[in-house]
Amino acid sequence: MDTRRIAPISHSLFTVFIVSTDEKRRRELSEGLKKKQYNTREFSSVDVAHGSLMIDRPDILILDASNDGAECVNVLSELRRVGALKVIYSLVLIDPALDTATRLSLIDAGAEEYFSVAAPFEEILIRVSAARRIISVLRKTHAEEEDVFRTMDVLLIQDGGCAPGYNPVTAFLVGGFERAGRKVFVASQGFKSVVEETGEAYKYLVYDQSKFKRLDHIPGVVHVGPLLDSRGAAFRTERYKEFILKENQQKAAENIIRHQVRTIVGIGGNGTFMGIKDLSEMLPLHVQVFFVPVTIDSDVMGTECIGEHTGIEVGAEKIRCYLADARTHERFYFIEMMGARGGFHALHSCLGARAHLALVPGLHVDMKLLGERLAARQYAVIVIAEGWEIEDRTKAGFKGSAAEWLKKRLEDSGFNSQRKIVCEAFTRDIRGAAPNNQDITLAQRMAKKVVEFASAGSSRLMPAVESDREFAIPFHEIQTDNTVRESLKKLGLRLLE
């Protein structure tokens, strides 16, 4: 045990930096604090003190903002940005006439408290003594935090569009690795955190509640129990597109090696997989890398994907609502849904709800025939995958949705209906749906396989599930341009039968 961290506190261990343009005030504060066994250093301005603040890190900072509050805000913001305020307690002296906005800016920038520049030394001494007690606790906590984050055993990286199941599979992975004696960390904002490492770039994830109670005073420690029932994705960013750059991938690899990461698990869809695969090629072979597919549109081939079952269930229910409204008001609804490449989500949602037609990428339909069939109906609901005829839309410079494109194509073919046509663009509410039991079960199965692969010394694998079959697909065999069977496409064409 490092007994230095729990030794009795002595004033002489504490250093106070005093920054003020007022020489007399600096000297009086410094001499008074030295008499109370504090180490002190004086600086005539923020500029003069800046370098020492960044390098030497005093215990307590007395910052005179009575002459230049804005400059003090800047230096506090800089200290907070580099994490120095975790181990520096800042006291700010202000002119009583200082405006409220600047006072609030000082606190927002990181000042612990402010008080009048005219305060008697006895009051300042009391505040410094209180700061000494507080910073001693903070430094002990900070030391524990550094111990926790010094090296990272297992690192989870989430990225891409949100899908039901991100959070549960994260919790199951943590539980499995923890039971295997491993420590699990997560990049707070996916690839972005691993590259930039700004702010609280990483979190330490804990599954066991009793263990979490022992560690919850340490910043960055997160209990994953609540994630089991949580929607969305707690640790990701909105598709960090800059990760496609090789220099960013190299930077991420260097950071991973520096943190001595032993195992990486990527979680997401096809874009996330491509990022994880590229990253794995820049890492030494002793760093294990795995990938777990979480994607509504099932855009990773050869396996069920976490989120696809919920997506179909919720998507089909949305279509049933449109069917009821279309039947009631005798309308035609053209509904754009997920399906950038294969059209899995749009097709299966259509089939589950028994909508009249599903248009998916690669499917070509005779618009005249479709117009004739619609003209003979009182109502209809057509589901269009977002990627349907995307090349033609792009070539034509069309900026609308796939649903609006279908309407245009019909009108161009001569279709002119007296019934109201309602075009609904793709909405993202399905991404925030609560994962259903099938996806939660799938998350458990895949998490278990990843832990088994890691324990066996394997790497560069994705767990795959097809009904009762569980297996692994090597990275070099994974395909991300998923398709749907031609026989299934035909099931979605009942309007044209």
Residues in the chain: 497
- Is the Cβ–Cβ distance between 135 and 59 less than 8 Å? yes
What is the spatial distance between Cα 434 and Cα 230, in angstroms, rounded to a whole number? 7
> Which pLDDT band, with edges at 50, 70 and 90, does 379 fall under?
very high
> Which pLDDT band, with edges at 50, 70 and 90, does 1 fall under?
very low
- Is the Cβ–Cβ distance between 332 and 379 less than 8 Å? yes
- Is the Cβ–Cβ distance between 334 and 302 less than 8 Å? no
Residues in Cβ contact with 271 at an 8 Å cutoff, skipping those fewer than 6 apart: 159, 160, 239
Residue 3 pLDDT > 80: no
Q: What pLDDT digit, counting tens, does each position of 99-127 carry?
A: 888 888 888 888 888 888 888 999 989 98
Residue 473's nearest CA partner among 296, 311, 273 is 273
- List the Cα angle 250/251/252 in 5-degree steps: 90
What is the spatial distance between Cα 369 and Cα 375, in angstroms, rounded to a whole number? 10
Residue 474 pLDDT > 50: yes
Least confident interval from 86-90, 178-182, 211-215, 242-246:
86-90
Percentage of the chain beyond pLDDT 70 is 95
pLDDT of residue 76: 85
Task: Catalogue all structural domains in the chain, each as residue range(s) with its CATH number.
Answer: 3-148 (3.40.50.2300), 154-306+435-466 (3.40.50.450), 309-432+486-496 (3.40.50.460)
b/e for 73-102, b at 16 or more Cβ within 10 A?
Answer: bebbebbbeeebbbbbbbbbbbeeebeeeb
> Which pLDDT band, with edges at 50, 70 and 90, does 456 fall under?
very high
> Which pLDDT band, with edges at 50, 70 and 90, does 55 fall under?
confident
Q: What pLDDT digit, counting tens, does each position of 123-145 carry?
A: 989 989 998 888 888 777 777 67
pLDDT of residue 84: 67
Q: What pLDDT digit, counting tens, does each position of 179-227 carry?
A: 999 999 999 999 999 999 987 899 999 999 999 998 888 888 999 999 9
Per the prediction, the chain carries an average pLDDT of: 90
Residue 22 pLDDT > 80: yes
Bridge partner list, 264 = 155, 289
Bridge partner list, 384 = 336, 359
Q: What pLDDT digit, counting tens, does each position of 383-399 carry?
A: 999 999 999 999 999 99
pLDDT of residue 10: 41
Q: What pLDDT digit, counting tens, does each position of 405-432 carry?
A: 999 999 999 998 889 999 998 888 899 9
Residue 7 pLDDT > 70: no
Residue 265 pLDDT > 80: yes
For 273, the token pair is 């997989």
Mean pLDDT of 260-288: 96
Least confident interval from 28-42, 83-97, 152-166, 252-266:
83-97
Radius of gyration of the chain (CA): 30
Residue 328 pLDDT > 90: yes
Residue 249 pLDDT > 80: yes
Tell me, letter by letter, the H, E, C secondary structure of 150-184: CCCCEEEEECCCCCCCHHHHHHHHHHHHHHCCCCE
Residue 482's nearest CA partner among 280, 303, 288 is 303
pLDDT of residue 8: 38
